[in-house]
Structure 1
């Protein structure tokens, strides 16, 4: 996966994707959820996240308390020690990683804590969940991070023309 090429492509398509987001808002919620779910399945049949891992290299998931407690246990730490070692609060007050790439990402793009990974990682890129309407802003942002989400929007550009 050529991530530099992807970043350039994603930047150049962002304005089109932003316009598409406006058109997607007009689609009935259940229909939109179904379209995204189908597109998600189709894209992830073709894509191997281990070839990319751009999400793990460039962004941080939000860590909820159950994630912190679970991972602290994995590292045999107190939850407060895990927070002090790996996390800080962002401008919204959420716990996020201190640095990118994720400290749990291996050279082979495999996650050291995969079985215990945060909920946000388990659900990423959120394109196969209910109420896509509620997260369209996040989904648009993810077109800049995840090649699969970018491709979903590229397909939708053709499917949902004016």
Structure 2
């Protein structure tokens, strides 16, 4: 029973991690594309909150439950699918840490522009481009981790 509970928690946290990530990216991307400063300010504030509530907690839960599942199932740590999962998860995490910082800057810059009735500053657009560039490898890394988690290729 313990294995099933941990597996359920692992799958649930993976779902929250990926779902929050893709949902947040979708809404932030399309609010920015709209160029509606007030909408961008609201969405970026919500995205930052969602990242701290869901993404941060699941970034911790995933490796904890994953390594415990490996232990419970008796998989060798040197299995290629496990090593690749860890590497890809680390790549996604290394992209995510600056993305969180960027999202907080995007939130602050858009809130100031909305409050002052001014356009978004050039720094906003620079941060936004970096946010997109970091989001692409993180997205594909998480997709690959999902596949490895399900397929467990030997």
> TM-score, normalised on structure 2?
0.31
Larger helix fraction of residues: 2
RCO greater where, 1 or 2, for CA within 8 Å and sep 6 or more?
1
> TM-score, normalised on structure 1?
0.30
Q: Which has the larger radius of gyration?
A: 2
